[in-house]
Amino acid sequence: MSSREMVVLSVGGVRFVTLASTLLRFPESRLAQMLNNDDREFKLVNGEFFVDRDGTLFSYIMDFLRTLQISLPTDFSDYQRLQREAEFYGLYALANILKQEHLLKPRLEILEVRFSLQDMQAFFRIFASCSTTVETLAEQITVFSGQQSGQNWNSPFSSQKPLVPLPLERPSHHDVVFQCGTDYSAGDQFVARYVSIKPDNRKLINGTNVLGLLLDTLLKDGFRLISTRTVSSEEKVECYSFERMQKPAGITITVNQTPGSSGAAQVKRSQVQKGK
């Protein structure tokens, strides 16, 4: 059979259409042998190959054959059943990965925002269980500083007055610290700190406004607010706790397709999870 020929499979009554080259990705698999009529489990009926297996799970098998990547829904739980299906079809590279569920399951990620007001300044500390999330937020948040005249909480940013971007404080890989607001300097001069959070282009000086934008950014990124509490009433420190299901790193299986090979496969992570 030519690798460009169309192949129709009926798996448990669910119909799939693909190219022969897709089924030949792993030459020693039963799907490859099926094309040569070398497997009695597959019945050729009216030009379609029929096999009495789970059609829903076979959709993940087909996705794997087409992309050589393992991508499962966040609520997927049938790892053992899918592993058995992979073994049945002779796709042992896939079956071996499915045995390691921890590589594929999403993990719960916790993030905490601490916010405090002191006179005309606001202080923020973001802690996350995943360091990658903190790095992403650090790239989104920019603090600008400059000497301003007659500035207060409600004064808008003047583009005519140059501001200097400041580096964010990173006490550890899991948290980031920054502040905004005004601090009295001399005469009517103030040291002002503005905060910008991408993709929003505004430069905000009011701590409450920055907090609102930060919380809105986290919610848009898939976090869910689970609690708010006052950590210290004297210091006016508030804590906002979030959680979200963190998707696992992508897993790609590279097939050795050199002449004479038997379809040996290697597994690699397409993204490295830095968060522990």
Residue with tokens 């496969």: 265
- What pLDDT does residue 258 have? 43
Please give the pLDDT value at position 104: 73
Per residue in 98-124, pLDDT tens? 888 766 777 889 999 999 988 889 999
Dihedral, CA atoms, 72, 77, 80, 83, nearest 10 degrees? -10
Element (H, E) at 194: strand 189-197
Say what the pLDDT of residue 225 is: 97
> Domains in the chain and their CATH numbers?
6-103 (3.30.710.10), 108-150+159-246 (3.30.1410.10)
Share the mean pLDDT of the chain. 83
Q: What is the pLDDT of residues 161-180, one digit of tens each?
A: 678 899 999 999 999 999 99
C-beta of residue 86 within 8 angstroms of C-beta of residue 60: no
Its pTM stands at: 0.60
- Confidence (pLDDT) at 191: 81
Angstrom distance (rounded) from CA 61 to CA 162: 57
